Amino acid sequence: MTRSKSILKALINQDFLALSTYVHPDKGAIFSPYTYITKDVHSFSPPQVKALLNDSTIYTWGYYAGSGEEISLRAKPFLDEFFHEKILLSKQAIYNNPTQRGNKVNNIKNAFTNSIIVEYHFTGAEENNNMDWRSVILVFEQWKKDEWKIVAIINDQWTI
């Protein structure tokens, strides 16, 4: 869990130099706005992750839940929208148990069959009827015998 907490801290602080050291050297890492993982998602190598905040390329990250509009953004606005400070409030860590919470299909276990999954879940505020719940899910795959590297960082949240 220490590794996943370090990754979460790097993500929250937008320290992509630190984050890049955890990325799988061969497979890279994806950043997904939702738990349904498609085949056409872009994977970022460790050097690309290191430079992500300064990358001016507009990527298609998926489609907005509800509207179906394409999520086409540079990395910084995408990360600000889907991976922001609310995950700091996460008190609950769930290990290797992907949970279906919203109406989006969660196919993480099928997309990453030989993985370790760590989810940080914020249950939401009672005054919002817990509809502001949010999770960040870290997916690890083995790189070397005793070393696991990040292959996916996934947002999950209440959607319409």
Domain ranges of the chain: 2-157
Q: Quick one: pLDDT at residue 141?
A: 96
Phi, psi of 41 (to 5 degrees): -70, 145
Q: How far, in Å, CA of 47 to CA of 58, rounded?
A: 18
User: Which residue's entry shows tokens 């960040």?
Assistant: 136
Is the dihedral angle over the CA atoms 81, 73, 42, 109 positive or is it negative? Answer: positive
Q: What is the CATH number of domain 2-157?
A: 3.10.450
Is the dihedral angle over the CA atoms 111, 113, 115, 119 positive or is it negative? Answer: positive
The token pair at 33 is: 């706005």
| Strands in the chain per DSSP E | 30-32, 59-63, 70-73, 92-95, 115-122, 134-144, 147-157
CB distance 89 to 99 below 8 Å = no
pTM of the model: 0.89
Q: Quick one: pLDDT at residue 87?
A: 61
Predicted confidence pLDDT, tens digits, the chain (160 residues):
578 889 988 988 899 999 999 999 999 999 999 998 988 788 999 999 999 999 999 999 998 888 889 999 999 999 999 887 656 556 677 788 766 666 677 888 999 999 999 988 777 667 766 566 778 899 999 998 889 999 999 988 767 6
DSSP, res 55: -
Q: Quick one: pLDDT at residue 89?
A: 55
Q: Give the number of residues written for the chain.
A: 160
